[in-house]
A = this chain, B = another copy of it.
Amino acid sequence: MPAYFSLFLFPFQILTIFVFHSIKSMSEKPLILVTNDDGIHAKGLRELVDVMQFFGDVIVISSEVSMSGKACGITVDQPLRATPVEEIHGVPTYKCNGTPVDSVKLSFNNLLDKTPDYVVSGINHGANTSISVIYSGTMGAAIEGSLHGVPSIGFSLDDFGPDADFSKAKLIVARIFQSVIENGIPEFSCLNVNIPTGKPKGIKICRQAHGKWVEEFEKRTDPHGREYHWLAGYFKNFEEDSVETDLHALKNNFASVVPVSVDMTCYKTLDHLKKWEL
C-alpha cells in the first residue's frame, strides 16, 4: 500500500489522500474481473492488476497467447477451458483458451461465485482509438462486461512495445476507475480509455474519431512459390481538426474517454431508409 501512496502523490494532485481514505472506508471490497487481449504474460495486464488491487478483490483471466484483433469474437466450434495458473501479484489467475469475450462469458457463468462489480480490460499495448474499437479484443471484453450489466472499461496505452512504460498510465487508470466507482456508467455502455505515452496533460471526454485503417498488405512468396500477405498499413484520420475526438485528445497528450454503445443502430440512416418503398 505505501507504494501506491507515493505513486498517487507524485504527479497528480487529482488523486489524493482522499481517494486512499474513501477506498479504505468501503464496507466491502468490490470484486474486479481483470482481463486483456495481449495474453497472460503481457506487462500491461500485470500493471492493471497492480492498480486494481488498490480498489478491490481482483481475479484475472486471460489467454495463453495474444488475442489482439479478435474484436467481439466468440468460440462456438471448440470447448473452452479456464485453467488456474501462477498468480499475478498474488491474486487468483486463470488462463482461458478462448477470446477475450469468451473469457468474460466463462468467468461470469462458470468461474466466479458471484457477479463481479467491475470488468476492466488492458492495459493494452497500443491505442484503440477511433474505429479500432471494432477490431479490438480489449474492447470486446469491456463490451461483453457491459452486456452483463456491469460497469466495464477498456484501457489502452499508445505504445505497442512489450516493455512499454505504464507508470504514468496507471495514474490515469486509477483516476478514471475512481470516477466510475463514484458515478457509475449508464447501463449497456462501457468506456474506451486511451492513454498517451509520457506524462499526460489530463483526461478528456471524447467521441470516437471518424477514420479508418488503410491497409497495405505486404505481398511475399514462400519457399514453395506460393503467395502470402501480411496485414499492415497506417491509420487515416478523416477529421484532424475535430477537437472533441479521441484521436485529437491523444495527439495532444490527453487521455481520452469514449463511451461505447452496444446499440449499433445508425439512427441517422434509419430516417433515410424509412423513405424507401419496400
Contacts and interface: CB of A to CB of B under 8 A. Distances in A.
A90 interface: no
A258 interface: yes
Given A133-B264, A269-B259, A69 B80 contact: no
Contacts of A76: 68-69, 231
A138 interface: no
A226 B109 contact: no
Given A79-B229, A135-B73, A188-B210, A215 B278 contact: no
- Best-buried of A68, A183, A269, A277 by chain B (most CB within 10 Å): A269
Interface stretch (A1-9, A21-29, A199-207): A199-207
Given A183-B276, A215-B105, A215-B109, A265 B269 contact: no
Interface string A230-258: 11000000000000000000000000011
The 3 lowest CB-CB distance pairs between A and B, nearest first, are A261-B266, A259-B269, A79-B228
Interface of A: 14, 66, 68-77, 79-82, 99, 101-102, 105-106, 108-110, 131, 133-135, 140, 143, 147-148, 175-176, 179, 183, 185-186, 188-189, 202-205, 207-208, 210, 212, 215-217, 219-220, 226-231, 257-270, 272-278
18 contacts: A68-B76, A70-B73, A71-B72, A72-B134, A74-B135, A79-B230, A81-B227, A109-B216, A175-B278, A176-B278, A183-B276, A203-B278, A207-B267, A208-B263, A259-B273, A260-B264, A261-B268, A263-B266
